[in-house]
Amino acid sequence: MKRKVVIGLEIHLQLKTKTKLFCGCSTDYIGATPNTNVCPICLAVPGTLPVINDHAVDLAVKMGLGLHCEIQDGTRFHRKHYFYADLPKAYQITQYEHAIAQGGYLDVIAEGKPKRIRLDHLHLEEDAGKLVHPTADGRLSGAAYSLVDYNRGGMPLSEIVSMPDMNSPAEAIAYVTQIRQLARYLDVSDGEMESGSLRVDVNVSLCNPDGSFGTRVELKNINSLKSIERALEYEIARQNRVLDEGGALVQETRLWDDAAGVTRSMRSKEGARDYRYYVEMDLAPIDAKPDYVERIRASLPEMPWDKRDRFMEQYGLSLEESQQITEQREMADYYEEMVKAGAPAAKAANWARMEVQRILHEEQLDITKFPIPAKELGTLIAKVEKRELSNTQAKDVLAAMFGEKLTLEEAMKKCGASGGRMTGDALAAVIDKVFAAQPEAVETIRKGADKKGAKAKFLQGLVMRETRGSADPAEVAKTIAEKLG
Amino acid sequence: MEFYKMSAREIAEGVKSKRFTAESVARESIERIKTLDKKYNSVVTLCEDEALAAARRIDEAVARGEDPGPLAGVPFAVKDNFCTNGIETTCCSNMLKGWVPQYDATAVKNMKEAGAVLVGKTNMDEFAMGSTTESSIFGPTLNPRDTERVPGGSSGGSAAVVAAGLVPVALGSDTGGSVRQPAAFCGVQGMKPSYGQISRYGIVAYASSLDQVGPIARNVGDLAVMMDVLAKEDPNDSTCDAYERPSFSGALDGASLAGKKVAVLTGYDKNSIDAPLAAAIDRAVEICREAGAEIIEAALPITMEHTVACYYMVALGDASSKLACYDGMRYGHHADGRNLSEMYKKSRMEGFGEEVSKRILVGTCILTRGYYENYFVPATKVRQLISDEFKELFRTADFLICPITPVLAYKRGLSETDPVRMYLGDVFTTIANLAGLPSMSLNLSFTPEGLPANVQILAPRFGDAELLACASVIEKAAGEPAPVETE
């Protein structure tokens, strides 16, 4: 029996601030010596008080606006209590009843179909520290002791909670991908799943025959897009199997074991804690008056989906091309600059998606680090379009620009392409040279014995190679025919 | 010289005009603590070396012709829940015994920057929970006015040091009357400023929305100078309001009550108040009338009915949350356990005393699902109603006069034999904390047995300067309390 899948996601996005959410400690903790980015405030030393980082609020509002949320004025923080070694205050400061951004939605395209995913809210909270267990697999079981690193404690997070609007792993993937894209467009977070800047908890259930929601299971410990897909597929199959066999599901939290490719039970609902939420009286309500919100709204860049649609319209790109090019804001900017430099839109799209991507991929580079100015590459593509250069020549030039750090001009000189197309007498001289080297082929053609023009094509190829592609193939064919005709 | 009979302002004046040195003042204070405090047990940590070094720095500054500030060379003591850089801060609890903070509380820093010299940390009820200063791990403080009796609490040590003339001024913290009630029991002047007036940064928290630093002195003029020094915006405390403070000592110049309306609280059983305290209120009202004030009556039915219950809900809920950080992991008392949970339990069991444990448990219960909705949420609503009732009152009145405590300083042991009575003694003080109002405990007289009788004066939120002005008018007529004379 095929049951409808219902998926809701909670995404923790680490905000790109220089300092932590409630103190002046650096957020640059990756690779830092444990417990060096800490201060009396984030260690909850007696007498200390939290002070809100305004920049984190700006970023949360920015993200909220990007997600079409309503920004709330005067929202408060709550304390969420639990005893754990990674939580110095024994409570986490988070937004509970009053999230700064309410509602909202995100339009995604999954498997070629548009889909609107509604959001419940986006709220601000601080991260906890990190426990390090000295076991082979880094897990608690079997560890004789554990170490605590508070460098991550107090890092600013925004938690984005969706409605249970996704009905397939593909939709979930599309949603996460687009959230990440938006976060990067808005420069709100670097959105790296591997480093933990973007963390996803997945809620999944199967609909009952009467259409009501079934028992919900939460999946944690997922740290790549691929894992989300695999975990969901596994869990959906598991739930279907349990129900098919007449069993009942329990509401629980399960951990995704990426190596084994299975989910395992972590805690059931019965073990759920009472967090004793309590208003954080040490922090004043957040000021997000309409004029402040409007100021942030005015600072927003073009949204990725708007850019994607505009590129299709303005440059005549296909959905797939446009999506690829606008995936990263920097790539989209690069593309537009190439077009501005004279490259035809379709050709520039090809070059961006093929040549540039290939180099980035081979060199493990990010577009922000791509050393060739868009203007120069655009000019190069324009030259190809004007038939001043062949495609092969242009690719040689690009390789020289990248490999030897040459300017466009230098690279063209180096590749012998600065003179542009080889035509007329120069081309005739090359053809004569090739004829001299291939008397047999010339003889065959002259005798009219060149079946299917194979020998002529052979000579043509040699000429093209000799000119390093700078001749126009049509002109080459024509000249050879004239000379031997 | 008998510096201990001088006011803080007289000491600062003498130091600045080189009539005497800050070092000689500090030496006298330290000497008196060493000899006299054996009797009272009000100081738990004496900062002799630090104080003498600080005093010498003041003298050097004076010698260089610099102005070391309005409290130049004035010795002061702070309750042991204020963080003091390099000096043990225990909250008089096993939980924090031996803990040395690496920073000064903003209030302490401001006092030092004004030239005041820290000579000691004072005794208190453990974690500021109590009304008698009997729950300290250092033993109880005895009331200098009568050593059979309690000095009040929880800032009992800070009130006692001032009453005994060990220092002219001291700092306490007031969550539900913890500065004003001991000031009343010890016969000194104590104030709880408006919430948000003074930074709470560096005070080990009891309850975030109620705590406020409170100055203690033997006269209103010294309180006003301390307020000038202490009441400042602080980027480290978001609840410390950003607004231009008036000159508190300036408000005392030519202070008058002409044309002011003074409300007198009614609606409680006058017979439930000790007679000398009722008489003190009558006398205070009479002084106001003579000073040109119009006297009106005010009943605060909601406040009088609900304040104690509401206070304990709010305070204990918050306390359970704020004291959760003492888990034995990073500082404070640590006990080993077979696992994390056992370590927490043992550390907390061994670290916290009985009263603190009791309040944490009640507070935890109050915040638990079910109880939260039935007890805590209504309490926050009642708190708003109390606040509103005061707003309404202060539409027509400038000040409110009422008892500060229902009883005179009582003998030791009540907190054990009748804790509920001890809690109910907070009925008149907690209102100021719930409503965020400035409030003063002002000495009016002493009984023939030498027990002090104080009254309470309240003013609208941020009417601290006006409150001090009103108190100074009454003080002028009633006289300042002198330090205890010791042979």
**Number of inter-chain CB pairs under 8 A, A vs B:** 95
B458: left (phi over 0), alpha (psi -120 to 50) or beta: beta
Residues of A in contact with B369 (CB under 8 A): 274, 276
Q: Which residues from chain A sit within 8 angstroms of residue B102, using beta carbons?
A: 40
Residue A41 to chain B, least CA–CA distance (Å): 10
B386 Cα distance to chain centroid: 22
Predicted confidence at residue B448, as pLDDT, reads 96
Neighbours of B234 (CB within 10 A): 21
What's the ipTM? 0.94
- Give the whole-angstrom CA distance, residue A162 versus residue A122: 9
Q: Do B318 and A48 touch (CB under 8 A)?
A: no
Query: Using a CB-CB distance cutoff of 8 angstroms, which residues of chain B are in contact with residue A40?
Result: 102-103
Q: Which residue has the tokens 């860049």?
A: A301
Q: What is the 3-state secondary structure (H, E, C) of B163-231?
A: HCCCCCEEEEEECCCCCHHHHHHHCCEEEECCCCCCCCCCECCCCCCCCEEEEEECCHHHHHHHHHHHC
pLDDT value of position B203: 98
CA distance A314 to chain B (A): 50
Contact A278/B at CB under 8 A: yes
Substitution target in B79, B91, B330, B348 with the highest count of A β-carbons within 10 Å is: B330
User: Bridge-partner residues for B122, per DSSP?
Assistant: B43, B79
Backbone φ and ψ for B173, nearest 5 degrees, come out as: -125, 145
Within A195-337, strands assigned E span 198-206, 217-222, 252-257, 262-268, 278-279
**Hey, which residues does A125 pair with through a beta bridge?**
A94, A157
Q: Is the peptide bond before B178 cis (omega within 30 degrees of 0)?
A: no
Tell me the CA distances in angstroms from B390 to A27, B381, B382, one per residue in order. Answer: 45, 15, 13
Coil, helix or strand at residue A130: strand
Mutate: best of A19, A48, A273, partner B, most B CBs <10 A: A48
Q: Quick one: pLDDT at residue B487?
A: 57
- What's the number of CA atoms in the CB half-sphere (13 Å) around residue A246? 0
- Cβ–Cβ below 8 Å for B89 and A46: yes
- pLDDT at position A418: 64
Q: Which residues of A touch B124 (CB under 8 A)?
A: none
CB-closest option in A49, A91, A276 to B236: A49
Residue of A133, A146, A282, A287 to mutate, interface with B, max B Cβ within 10 Å: A282
Nearest-CA neighbor of B76 among B157, B169, B183, B2?
Answer: B169
Report the alpha-carbon distance of residue B404 to residue B280 in Å, rounded: 11
- The reply to whether residue A48 touches residue B101, judged by beta carbons under 8 angstroms, is no
A39 contacts chain B (CB < 8 A): no
Facing B202 at nearest CB: one of A47, A83, A282: A47
Supply the pLDDT for residue A413: 81
Amino acid letter at B308?
A: V
Q: Which residue of A has its CA nearest to B329?
A: A85
pLDDT value for A267: 76
On chain B, the residues whose CB falls within 8 A of the CB of A48 are: 201-202
What's the farthest any 2 CA atoms get from each other in chain B? 71
A-chain residues near B121 (CB < 8 A)? none
A283 at the B interface (CB within 8 A)? Answer: yes
**Distance separating alpha carbons of residues A142 and A144, to the nearest angstrom:** 6
Beta pairing class for B212-217 and B189-192? antiparallel
- Of A381, A388, A393, whose CA–CA distance to A339 is shortest? A381
Low-confidence residues of chain B, pLDDT below 70? 415-416, 420, 422, 487
**Dist. CA A77–CA A99, nearest whole Å:** 8
- Which tens digit of pLDDT belongs to each residue from B305-314? 999 999 999 9
Rounded-to-integer distance, Cα A38 and Cα B62, Å = 39
C-alpha–C-alpha distance, residues A261 and A234, integer Å: 8
> Among B203, B207, B344, whose Cβ lies nearest the Cβ of A47?
B203
Would you state the pLDDT for residue A2?
73
What was the pLDDT predicted at A477? 84
Contacts 24+ apart (CB under 8 A), B32-39: B32/B4, B32/B164, B32/B165, B32/B166, B33/B119, B33/B120, B33/B161, B33/B166, B36/B164, B36/B166, B36/B486, B37/B161, B37/B164, B37/B166, B39/B142, B39/B144, B39/B147
Q: Which of residues 57-116 of A touch B (CB under 8 A)?
A: 79, 81, 83-85, 88-91
The segments of chain A whose pLDDT lies below 70 read 1, 269-272, 417-420
Each residue of B222-255: pLDDT tens digit?
Answer: 999 999 999 999 999 999 999 999 999 999 999 9
Q: What is the pLDDT of residue B375?
A: 95
